[in-house]
Amino acid sequence: MRTFATLGRRKAVLGMIHLAPLPGTPFHEKGSFERTLDVAVQSAIALSEGGADGCLVQTVERVYGVKDESDPARTTAMGLIVDAIGRATGDDFQIGVQLMRNAIRASLAVAKVARGSFVRAGALVGATLTEHGLVEANPLEVMEYRDKIDAWGVKIIADVASTQFTWLGGAKPVAEVARRAKHVGADAVSLGDPDEAKTLAMIASVRAAAPDLPILLAGHTNHANAARLMAAADGAFVGACLEQGGWGGRIDRDRVAAYVEIVRGLER
């Protein structure tokens, strides 16, 4: 199993690999899995060659379950993709797993078995209302399972304010949500908003409340704002600006290299 070597060492650039619907889901296209796997591997290679620190392999479905569970075929397909990416990239390339919407335990299992280094949790604490229903966190079950399969080496990055998570039941400060996520076992948090000023304010508030907690951008970053946002954050999930044809496309090596150069310039 790989460890998240860059977390806390340098700013982590993590490209998003968006998967077509997988087997075991209602909108999976019969016979498409090999193509999905190939695109994912080629995108990961482009990220690695472009200098990115790793990737987050994320399922993209039209409908999701809201429980912490995943169809066995879907989980197996994700495991095959993550394993193939691991074989095609170097040992330092970080591989994250996110079986949407909030299948944290299945994501941990895939990462543990298929040489992943982290998972992204859509809801590790609290609850959030989505178009698919209410997503409720169960950190006790997550941590019990993490212990059961000895996946403490798999880092958990918890969304605390993003397109995937908004605290349900009142305007709880994002810094407090981040502190709670850390308390139950998160190794880092991710946050972001289309409003750049709001994102920077959230980063500052979390930094003040939990100085040693790594903060990653939950999207909303591109070549134009990378210097400003990454100066404040410890890393980022980077999506559409790296993909050919926009969101969901194959990742382009040159776009990766250009983004990485901006970030590495901040570290000099």
Q: What share of the chain is helix, strand, coil (3-state, %, to 5)?
A: 40, 20, 40
pLDDT digits (tens, 9 = 90+) for 185-226: 999 999 999 999 999 999 999 999 999 999 999 999 999 999
pLDDT score of 102: 97
Confidence check: pLDDT of 2 > 80:
no
pLDDT score of 268: 77
* Kind plus residue range of the DSSP H or E element containing 175: helix 174-184
pLDDT score of 1: 55
Confidence check: pLDDT of 115 > 70:
yes
Please count the helices (runs of H) and the strands (runs of E) in the chain: 8, 10
Q: In this structure, are residues 196 and 228 in contact, taking their beta carbons and an 8 Å threshold?
A: yes
CATH class assigned to 12-267: alpha beta
Q: In this structure, are residues 123 and 135 in contact, taking their beta carbons and an 8 Å threshold?
A: yes
Interhelix angle 174-184/196-209, rounded to 10 degrees, is: 50
Cα separation, 16 vs 12, in Å, equals 13
Amino acid at 20: A
Q: Show the CA angle centred on residue 176, arms to residues 173 and 180, nearest 5°.
A: 145
pLDDT grade, residue 171 (50/70/90)?
confident
pLDDT score of 49: 98
pLDDT score of 184: 98
